[in-house]
Amino acid sequence: MIPGEIFPAAGEIEVNAGRPVTLVTVANTGDRPVQVGSHYHFFETNAALSFDRPAAYGKRLDIPAGTAVRFEPGQSREVALVPVAGGETIYGFNQKVMGKLKGTAMKGTGHAG
C-alpha cells in the first residue's frame, strides 16, 4: 500500500439515491449569469431567479458535491432539488433561515433589493 492510495469500490455511485426529489422550473430574469453551488439552500438563491421558492424551502440541488448549475440571463430550465440532510440546520446564505429548518418560519419568498 502506498500512503494516500485510494481503493475505489467497483461500480458506480448514485448521488442522493432514494432521496425525495422536487422538480422546479427556474428562470433567470436578471441581466447577469447566476451560478448556484451543490449545497446552497436553493430557497435563498439570487432574487433574479424566478421559481416556486416555498417549494425549495429546506432543499438543495440534486447534483454531486462541489459542482454547480449556471443560469444564463433569460434562460429557463427545470432542476431537481433534494432535502438538506444531516442536522437540517441552515445558517448564512441570505439569512432567510438561521437555524433548524423545522420550526423556523420562512422569512419571505423574495429578497429586498
Q: What is d(CA 77, CA 71) in angstroms, rounded to the nearest whole number? A: 8
pLDDT digits (tens, 9 = 90+) for 30-56: 999 999 999 999 999 999 999 999 999
Sorted by sequence, the CB contacts under 8 Å of residue 100 that are 6+ apart come out as 87, 88, 89
Q: What is d(CA 36, CA 66) in angstroms, rounded to the nearest whole number? A: 11
pTM tops 0.85:
no
Q: What is d(CA 30, CA 110) in angstroms, rounded to the nearest whole number? A: 14
Q: Which domains does the chain have, with CATH numbers?
A: 22-100 (2.10.150.10)
pLDDT digits (tens, 9 = 90+) for 86-104: 888 888 777 788 888 886 6
Does the CA dihedral 32-75-82-45 come out positive or negative? positive
